[in-house]
Amino acid sequence: MSGRIEKSVARCIKCGAPLSQRNIWPIVAFPCPTCGAQLQTAQWYRRVTTATGLLCPVALALAAGVRTWRGLLIAELVGFLPSLYVFVNFFKFLVPPKLVAGLPKDASLNLRDEPKSADSRPR
Ligand SMILES: [Zn+2]
């Protein structure tokens, strides 16, 4: 045993095994370390993580006194990759993600966690 204590924030939806934050990938699907089931965070969680990472450079530039569109654009272009990296890797420690069943990357149907309210296909 390593003797380290890790706080569990979520459980596998298939086998119920506790998952530490280090095992959770906020943007992509990942396997459960115990049963191997594909898991991913809820779609709203991925959107909030990405949007926060994208908006953070603009917020920092505004806080630093930048008031021109050109300055905000430059701040976004320079800052969005580092900001996205930080939020994708550390946001999960602040806000524990909700887990859902993962789908393979090449799944083409919209079968993720937001079902359509009505079927609008023509017959
Ligand atoms: Zn599992």
- Spans of the chain below 70 pLDDT: 1-9, 104-123
Helix-strand-coil percent breakdown of the chain, rounded to 5? 40, 15, 45
The token pair at 115 is 């079902």
45 Cα: distance to centroid of ligand 1 (angstroms): 20
Q: Compute the distance from residue 23 Cα to the ligand 1 centre, in Å.
A: 12
Domain residue ranges of the chain, discontinuous segments joined by + = 8-101
Per-residue pLDDT at 110: 57
Around ion ligand 1, which residues have CB less than 5 A away?
12, 14-15, 17, 32, 34-35, 37
Burial (0-12, 13-18, 19+ Cβ within 10 Å), 50: middle
Work out the angle at residue 24's Cα, subtended by the Cα atoms of residues 13 and 58, and round it to the nearest 5 degrees.
125
Query: Which pLDDT score is estimated for 115?
Result: 54
Strand partners, 99: 41
